[in-house]
Structure 1
Amino acid sequence: MSRFKRNGKIDSRAGFKTQTQESPVPRGLLNAARSSGQLNLSGRGLTEVPQSVWRLNVDTPEEAQQNLSFGASDRWWEQTDLTKLLLSSNKLDVLSEDVRLLPALVVLDVHDNKLTTLPKSIGELENLQKLNLSHNKLKELPEELWLLKNLRTLQLQQNLLEELPDGVGQLEMLDDIDLSNNEMTTLPESLGNLTHLVKLNVSYNKLKSLPHGISGLKSLKLLDCTRNQLESVPPVLANMASLEQLYLRHNKLSCLPEFPSCQTLKELHLGNNRIEVLGAEHLSHLSALSVLELRDNKVKTLPDDITLLKDLERLDLVNNDISSLPCALGNMPKLKILSLEGNPLRAIRRDLLTKGTNELLKYLRSRIEEAPGDPFKDAPNTAMTLPSQATINVHAIKTLKALNYSEKQEASIPDEVFDVVDSSPVTSVNFSKNLLTALPPRIMELKDTLTDINLGCNKLTSIPADFSVLKCLLQIDLRNNLLTSLPLELEALTKLRTIILSFNRFKVFPDVLYRLENLEAILMCNNQVGSIDPAQLKGLEKLSSLDLQNNDIMQVPPELGNCTSLRALMLDGNPFRNPRAAILAKGTDAVLEYLRGRIPT
């Protein structure tokens, strides 16, 4: 009698019910797929694909088995073969061999799952044109995959692939393949058989070289080899007659690729390498180039022959070792963007650099008639030799207002260096590439005139609070030191526009930077910064460049999208998942727009 009690926990009508388990795929969705030929099951938490999906075009609908009447629009016997199946963002760890029951598939998308293997029957999908297997856990690919002769797009990024089989060369109709973010150390020579390939992305792998067979890619327009271990690029790349965009950022290249002839290349991205020399032999073959990106290298000089690049529109030389510019640069007819932040330029006033590309080019043109070449290259030797055998160019101090004592490998700056200055109004100091462990105390003597100081490539572990007396500073370069923090007293540097803190040991974004309202550029790549405060960052209304590449940022706050003053936001090389690499590649505006779209409402 207890099972009939009203207050009991057992339902008195339980014996009269039939227990039915709700299908993870609604019947109405299957019926719609029979008429449209498309089925979207993305983001449904599926751990396996129901048999009703695989047998969609094989079995008769359940309604038909119940002898129900059908209208003209519900004639199941007139169903359309399934051509598009979307299974992304589920929890699938296996794909059934029953995929062969959908031979009409043109698009199969199973990205963002947990697949470790693929069924052999995938090779029976002879009509398949687009296959998205990205963001899974695939370590190898079945040979049957290479039977898909009509495949045009193959997405394999974000997997665990250590090699790409030679069989890929059989996919002769392929025009887009993405192999980024895997573990590959080599590529097969058979890639060159893909004569219809337009886009090849092998970024974020462990490639040490490129196969010579790659020169067979006659239709290739974009080749992305970002963040690998390439030390050289084979000259045969020039044989790719359609190549327009070449990305070689974050590799180990020591010089520009030397192509015998490359008349189609429009964009060459070589940032974050080890390039020191840029000579005429590197430029003569790049006549069609419109973008040359060389940021974060070790380039010391630009040749006059850079004017050979008559179609160049953007030249990015941020964070190099360039001390002077050829005046001929001013005569480049199409140059619209010239980025030079983070270089120890000594012959050009800092305020001129901040006025933009047009003013800088105008200035260089004006110098061509006055003094072709370097105006101080043949200056008389007025230097004095100090006990340390260092040479101080007194002419530079008197004329350029620049004090240069760099690359001496000294642990301290001799007093004689400051004695030479005497009462001269020095505006620029370069003590880079020494062994300094502390700031030279006598630097404070220059507080009334000093606007630019370069202390990069030393062994500084801290910056003293009294550094804040240098209130005229516009730029500070502290790259390649051992810094972990900055004193709050630096907020007194109200005129500061650029600060370079790259290659240090910061784990926290320095709080004082949020208080320097006139900052235009903060360069902090290659540190260990874990987060930033977008609310405080938004207060820096003049900030246009923020470089946080190669840090430890796990999550990019969506509110960063509100920092609309940013024109260059660099976030590559951080462990966050979103925004994905495809968004980052589109540039700052696209990233900011993406972030704004994710702000909770």
Structure 2
Amino acid sequence: MSRLKGVAERDTRAGFRAERREVGASVPQGLLKAARKSGQLNLSGRNLSEVPQCVWRINVDIPEEANQNLSFSTTERWWEQTDLTKLIISNNKLQSLTDDLRLLPALTVLDIHDNQLTSLPSAIRELENLQKLNVSHNKLQILPEEITNLRNLKGLYLQHNELTCIPEGFEQLFNLEDLDISNNRLTSVPASFSSLSSLVRLNLSSNQLKSLPAEISGMKRLKHLDCNSNLLEAVPPELANMESLELLYLRRNKLRFLPEFPSCRLLKELHVGENQIEILGPEHLKHLNSILVLDLRDNKLKSVPDEITLLQSLERLDLSNNDISSLPCSLGKLHLKFLALEGNPLRTIRREIINKGTQEVLKYLRSKIKDDGPSQSDSIIETAMTLPSESRVNVHAIVTLKILDYSDKQTTLIPDEVFDAVKSNIITSVNFSKNQLCEIPKRIVELKEMVSDVNLSFNKLSFISLELCMLQKLTFLDLRNNFLNSLPEEMESLIRLQTINLSFNRFKILPEVLYHIPTLETILISNNQVGSVDPQKMKAMGNLMTLDLQNNDLLQIPPELGNCVTLRTLLLDGNPFRVPRAAILMKGTAAILEYLRDRIPT
């Protein structure tokens, strides 16, 4: 009877009041019975305007079935019931919670998101075992000071409320690892936040912050900091000393210059798009040794320094909508998977090259790199390898650029001499685009141990051969402008694939195998006939950031797609659905996902 001890001190008859044993109409007896065994109760989406007393008193009152049947098996003895540790009452119409909350002292998880709560009861302080509290999507204007008593709290989710300040003593939540206060009305962050030494993820986006406290650098374990959509004009220099920081989001602010990051050796993603940054200098780049994603779109940059080549790990670079008139040829030395240049007054690169995509731009830039001419050893290699029958093979590209290029030949097959020319050289990229190929050359399998990028676009492929599925290191695959309507399930073996372009083909559904490639970050499948997607399977794709479904046959967008919170870019224009309307689509991905989430049936 230990579970009754704390309650009995307040009410000596609490466990035996039969008159308070009512069961709410929305809470079936079977659900309560199961909860007494499992310690978990889910009342999500039951249209509740208040929490029934039988829920608060589930571990206090004698179960209803105990009054009806006094003979219990060993598994049904009510006095051996499990204390309730997890309570989910989200997606209801709750406007308040009562102090009866204290009757569930064993709770470790309390999820009350998507209700109409304007406050939390002071009795919440008694849930000392609580580890996760989700009060997002409510109408909270203030947090009770008692919340600072939840010393075991690891996850606190307060996004989409009306909070204007953080209570005193908040830093006492020293076990907190994940804190989301996005989409509120905060104008400042307390300096005492630095005491949240266990924090790994902090989301402050979509508030009204004009500055960040220098003390924020005291969060020694912080990996993910999101300050998107605020009013920041600068970030404290101390931010650059956060050694654990991996993801930093500063989009849609008023930043005029980039900070330097001398200590952020682990920084993998830096998002500073939609600001007012005018200069990108060597000092901003020299310490970003681990950077994979650099988002600089919609700023006022006029140039890119040659030192961009310092970012040897960079995979995605977004420079769109700036004032850049020329690019350094050295940019071509980077192994980028994605380069966005739209909206710049570029004069040194023809539009047709830009329209061909990232690899063609990099190839063009590399071709413009001025050197002292081929060395004697290069000449020997080329002379030895370039036989008359191989005169069409770009040996220079093979030897120096590691590219096997046989594109724009309008051929129906790739000659054997193309593969023969590789010999013992390392090849990382294959470009067979703009030909008349009806099938993938079988000899491509000879490159399976080394090739990471394959471009087969603008051909006549109607199926994918198994040889392609054997390219173990493939990360980028371009299959646009072919005759494909399906992909083989064997493509699931492409365990490193990050980007696939299937635009301008004949797909009627999103290929099933794509759901089973967990590394996918970008799926481009515009201009097909896709009529449906599976939002549940897509939600499981934890790395998916870009999904382009433009110009397809989607008659409706499943609301559950809003749960795919990893998506940074979702493109839906040109489909025949009626909702979301164009006004929502124009607001961008975050607004679309939020709109869809709000319409998930309960």
Say whether residues 1:97 and 2:83 are aligned partners: no
Partner of 2:158: 156
Q: How far apart in 2 are the matches of 1:325 and 1:599?
A: 46
Compared CA separation, residues 559 and 107, structure 1 to 2 (3 A):
closer
Deviates more, 1:304-313 or 1:581-590: 581-590
Q: Deviations over 1:173-222 (max 9, x none)?
A: 10000000000010011111111111000100000001111101111110
Aligned to 1:431: none
Equivalent in the alignment of 1:299: 301
The amino acid that maps onto 2:194 is: G
Cα distance per residue 1:103-136 (max 9 Å; x no partner): 0001000000011111111011111000000000
Q: Distance in 1 between matches of 2:39 and 2:563?
A: 32
Aligned counterparts, 1:4-403, within 5 A = 23-332=25-334, 334-369=335-370
Contact persistence 1:261–1:286 (CA under 8 A): no
Does the CA-based 8 Å contact 1:295-1:318 persist in structure 2?
yes
1:228-255 deviations in Å (ceiling 9; x for gaps)? 0000011111222210000000000111
The 2-side partners of 1:164 and 1:558 are apart by 43
C-alpha deviation, 1:73, in angstroms: 2.2
In the other structure, the counterpart of 2:430 is none
Aligned CA distance change for structure 1 residues 322 and 164 (closer, same or farther; 3 Å) = same
The 2-side partners of 1:92 and 1:278 are apart by 50
Hey, what's the Cα distance between the residues in 1 that align with 2:260 and 2:171? 27
Q: Which residue type is aligned with residue 275 of structure 1?
A: I
Q: Distance in 2 between matches of 1:271 and 1:579?
A: 25
| Secondary structure of 1:127 counterpart | coil
Question: CA 1:21–1:218 in 2, change beyond 3 Å: closer, same or farther?
Answer: closer
For 1:136, the aligned partner's letter is N
State the 1:262 CA deviation.
1.9
Letter paired with 2:133: L
Classify 1:348/1:260 alpha carbon distance in 2 versus 1 (closer, same or farther; 3 Å).
same
| Cα deviation digits, residues 58-102 of structure 1 (max 9, x gap) | 111122234532222211111000000000011111111011110
Displacement of 1:288 after TM fit? 1.7
Give the TM-score of the pair, scaled to structure 1: 0.61
Structural RMSD (CA): 3.5
Query: Is residue 24–residue 54 contact of structure 2 (8 Å, CA) maintained in 1?
Result: no
Q: Which residue of 2 aligns with 1:583?
A: 565
Name the SS for the 1:369 alignment partner.
Answer: coil
Looking at structure 1, the residues matched to 203 and 209 of structure 2 have their Cα atoms a distance apart, in angstroms, of 12
Cα distance, 1:581 vs. partner? 8.6
1:587: Cα distance to partner? 4.3
* Partners of 2:144 and 2:167 within 8 A in 1: no
**Corresponding letter in the other structure for 2:565:** I
The separation in 2 between residues aligned to 1:580 and 1:200, in whole angstroms, is: 21
**C-alpha contact 1:195 1:216 (8 A) present in aligned 2:** yes
Q: Is the 8 A contact 2:560 2:600 kept in 1?
A: no
Task: Output the CA distance in 2 between the equivalents of 1:539 and 1:357.
Answer: 17
Asked if 2 retains the 8 angstrom alpha-carbon contact of 1:191 and 1:214, the reply is yes
Q: Contact between 2:526 and 2:548, CA under 8 Å: does it hold in 1?
A: no
TM-aligned CA distance change 1:599 to 1:100, over 3 Å = closer
Residue 568 of structure 1 and its aligned partner are, at CA, apart by: 5.1
Change in Cα spacing, 1:589 to 1:79, as seen in structure 2 (3 Å) is: farther
Structure 1 pair 265/249, CA: closer, same or farther in 2 (3 Å)?
same
Q: Secondary structure at the match of 2:370?
A: helix
- TM-superposed CA distance for 1:287, in Å, is 1.9
Cα distance, 1:188–1:278 mapped onto 2, change above 3 Å: same
Percent of pairs with identical residues: 60
Shift of 1:261: 2.9
Conserved in 2, the CA contact under 8 Å of 1:558 and 1:599?
no
CA 1:116–1:264 in 2, change beyond 3 Å: closer, same or farther? Answer: same
Counterpart residue number, 2:527 = 541
Shift of 1:259: 3.0
Distance 1:214 1:558 in 2: 45
Structure 1 pair 339/542, CA: closer, same or farther in 2 (3 Å)?
farther
Q: Is the 8 A contact 1:165 1:188 kept in 2?
A: no
Indicate the larger mover: 64-73 or 123-132.
Answer: 64-73
Q: Do 2:104 and 2:127's aligned partners in 1 also have CA atoms closer than 8 Å?
A: yes
Equivalent pair of 2:23/2:29 in contact (CA under 8 Å): no
How many residue pairs get aligned? The number is: 396
The SS at the match of 1:166 is coil
- Matches of 2:600 and 2:246, distance apart in 1: 36
* 2:308 match: secondary structure: helix
Partner of 2:419: none
Q: State the alpha-carbon separation in 2 of the partners of residues 124 and 100 from structure 1.
A: 6
Deviations 1:449-469 (CA, angstroms, capped at 9, x unpaired): xxxxxxxxxxxxxxxxxxxxx
8 Å contact 1:198–1:220 — kept in the other structure?
A: yes
Q: Is the 8 A contact 1:287 1:308 kept in 2?
A: yes
Which stretch of the first structure deviates more once superposed, 174-183 or 355-364? Answer: 355-364
Cα distance change, pair 211–540 in 1 and its aligned pair in 2 (3 A): closer
Q: Aligned partners of 1:77, 1:540: CA distance in 2, in Å?
A: 60
Q: Which amino acid aligns with 1:213?
A: E
> Contact 1:186 / 1:209 at 8 angstroms: preserved in 2?
yes
Going from structure 1 to structure 2, the CA distance change for 1:257 and 1:581 (only over 3 Å counts) comes to farther
- Equivalent position amino acid for 2:56 in 1: W
Q: In structure 1, what is the Cα distance between the partners aligned to 2:291 and 2:202? A: 20
Q: Distance in 2 between matches of 1:188 and 1:580?
A: 32
CA distance in 2 between counterparts of 1:542 and 1:346 reads 33
- d(CA) in 2 for partners of 1:93, 1:194: 30
User: Which residue type is aligned with residue 365 of structure 2?
Assistant: L
Deviations 1:318-366 (A, max 9, x none): 111111100111112x322111111111111111112222221121112
- For each residue in 1:15-71, what CA deviation from the matched residue of structure 2 results, as whole angstroms up to 9, or x when unmatched? xxxxx9972211121111111100011111111111111111011112223453222
Once residues 56 and 367 of structure 2 are traced to their aligned partners in structure 1, the CA distance between those partners, rounded to angstroms, is: 73
Q: SS in structure 2 opposite 1:236?
A: helix
Q: Distance in 1 between matches of 2:525 and 2:268?
A: 37
* Secondary structure, counterpart of 1:246 in structure 2: strand
CA contact (8 A) 1:236 1:259 kept: no
SS in 1 for 2:565: helix
Contact 2:145 2:168 in 1 (8 A): no
- CA offsets per residue over residues 396-428 of structure 1, 9 Å max, x none? xxxxxxxxxxxxxxxxxxxxxxxxxxxxxxxxx
For the structure 1 residues 139 and 567, does the alpha-carbon distance in structure 2 shift closer, same or farther, using more than 3 Å as the test? Answer: closer
8 Å CA contact retained: 1:109, 1:133? yes
CA distance, structure 2, for counterparts of residue 125 and residue 145 of structure 1 = 9
Tell me, yes or no, if the aligned pair for 1:323 and 1:343 is still in contact at 8 Å.
yes
Aligned partners of 1:92, 1:225: CA distance in 2, in Å? Answer: 30
